[in-house]
Structures are given as C-alpha cells and as structure tokens.
Amino acid sequence: MNYNPQSNNVGNIGDIIKHAALVELARLIQGRNPDTCINYLDTHAYLYKSPCTNNRWAGDVQLLAKKYKGYTPYYEIEQSFIQQGHYLCSSALAVKTLKDPRLFLAEKNDVTRATLANQLSEAGVKYTALKHDFKDFLNYTDTSTCGPIFGLIDPFKLNDHEWQGLWQVLSNTLNTIHNPQSDALFIVFNFSKTGTPAWQLPPNNLLNIVGVIKHAPYYLAVYATKNIAGPAQAVLNGLGWDVGEICNRQLI
Ligand SMILES: C[S@@+](CC[C@H](N)C(=O)[O-])C[C@H]1O[C@@H](n2cnc3c(N)ncnc32)[C@H](O)[C@@H]1O
C-alpha cells in the first residue's frame, strides 16, 4: 500500500479552505487558553509537508483573501514554505500555530506514516501518539493529557460506517484527553460528488455544528462545545462559512 491518493491533491481548493480554517481556529483556541497545552488530534494526518500539486495555489488563496481577511494568516505561513517547494500539511500548520501542542496523529498508509515520523523528527517536533488507524484512539486511556482539544477529521470520504467509527473515537477522546470544562473544536472534511452530504450530530450532545461551507465536491463542517461556539462562528464568518440555520440546535 504505497500509493496515497492525497499526493495528487495537495494544496487544492479543498485543502486551502480546510487549512485556512485550521489556522484561524487554532489561533482562536490558543488565544482563549494562552498558557495551556492544546491537544491536537489529526485522525487522518497524511504527511507533515509534501510537494504542492496545485500550481494555482497562490492565485486561489489571494482571490479568497481579497474577499475574506481570514485567509491571510494561512497564506503568510504557507507561502514561505511553498517557495521552498514544500506545502505544509495539517499537522505542520497546527504545530506552527499552536504553542507546543500535544499531537495525537493517525495515518493508515504505512509508507506515509513512516515518512511523517521522519519529517516530524527532522523538524524536531515531538508527538504524544502516532497511530496506525484513527480507531486506535478508541483504546487511548491516558487521562493525564486532559485539556482543551482541537481536531481535524479528514478522510477522503465519510460513509455511515465511518461516521459511526468517528463518533466512537470522539466520545473516547472527549472522555480522556478533553477536560469537560474546556474548549473542544473539530473540523470535519467530506468529499462528495453527489451533492451536500448529511452532517451528523455526535451522540453525546457535547458538540454542535457551528459552521459549514461547500465548494463542491469539498464540504466542511466545524463542531464545537457550547463555550467556544460563538467565537468559532465569528472566525468562520470571517472565512465565508455559513454559520446560519444548521447551527442553531440547542446544546443540552
Ligand atoms: C485527505 S488525507 C489527509 C490530509 C491531511 N489531514 C491534511 O489536511 O494535510 C487522508 C489521509 O487519511 C489516511 N487514512 C485513510 N484511512 C485512514 C484510517 N482509517 N486511519 C488513519 N488514516 C487513514 C490516508 O492514507 C490519507 O493519508
């Protein structure tokens, strides 16, 4: 299993929308918890850095940045690496934006995971866990890492079976690495060629959908705890996300 389809899609518009939100929400959660180590959970991590396969990357981001100022911090972080031939992927953007985060990463492709481990080591980045499959976090029990949690859930596609697995993992991580009084934020990415996918609600009622965006075939949603829902919506609004009707379900 050497080939990873993500290698042909690095820096496309789906990545741009996802990674700009990642940078802005990371800044938000760290800003609200300035002296706290944030737990960063990347269930489908891919690499730390990779060649950019979108040669229109700069133009695509600048177009968005003209309309929405929120794209500028992402552009500024990524641009200097692009000039050196590297695109910073999600875990790298989290490392650059959060202050010494605890990294919980999973990557199923063996070659990709080995390369990711090498890249992290070369960059001097330590991680708390690097798992083979996101479902391995079902067995994670170390509650000493409890704190605010920021996550990216980024498979190529989410079918019903995968949603179920994800909610089980989220329930477990929310019970172990998340402190119930603190912020939790998750970005979820879905790819669909058959129209807007249904965004599902997590079973434990702790998280709510606070914003969605579509740029077919790329669809994203952000899930958040009540305490950070309003500030997250303000950030997403500044990136052109829809923070309207879908997001009005009351949290218990
Ligand atoms: C869309 S890419 C992730 C991109 C990355 N998060 C980013 O934003 O830069 C999806 C990755 O998930 C990996 N993957 C697929 N199934 C997985 C699973 N069950 N557990 C962990 N990783 C998985 C794939 O090998 C691929 O590298």
pLDDT tens per residue, range 211-228: 999 999 999 999 999 899
- The domain spanning residue 23 has which CATH number? 3.40.50.150
Between the CA of 61 and the centroid of ligand 1 the distance, in Å, is 23
Does any domain span residue 153? yes
Enumerate residues 6+ apart whose C-beta is below 8 A from 94: 22, 26, 40, 42, 101, 103, 150, 152
Torsion from C-alpha of 53, 59, 64, 66, nearest 10 degrees: 160
Does any domain span residue 58? yes
Between the CA of 27 and the centroid of ligand 1 the distance, in Å, is 23
Distance (Å) of CA 224 to CA 25, 53, 108, 227, 229: 11, 32, 26, 8, 6
Q: How many separate domains does the chain show?
A: 1
Does any domain span residue 252? no
Q: What is the pTM of this model?
A: 0.95
Residues with beta carbon inside 6 Å of ligand 1?
Answer: 4, 6, 18, 42, 44-46, 89-90, 106-109, 112, 133-134, 152, 154-156
- Looking at the DSSP bridge assignments, the partners of residue 219 are 190, 214
The SS3 call for residue 164 is helix
pLDDT tens per residue, range 3-46: 898 999 999 999 999 999 999 999 999 999 999 999 999 999 99
Which residue lies with its CA nearest to atom 19 of ligand 1? 133
**Domain ranges, residue 124:** 5-247
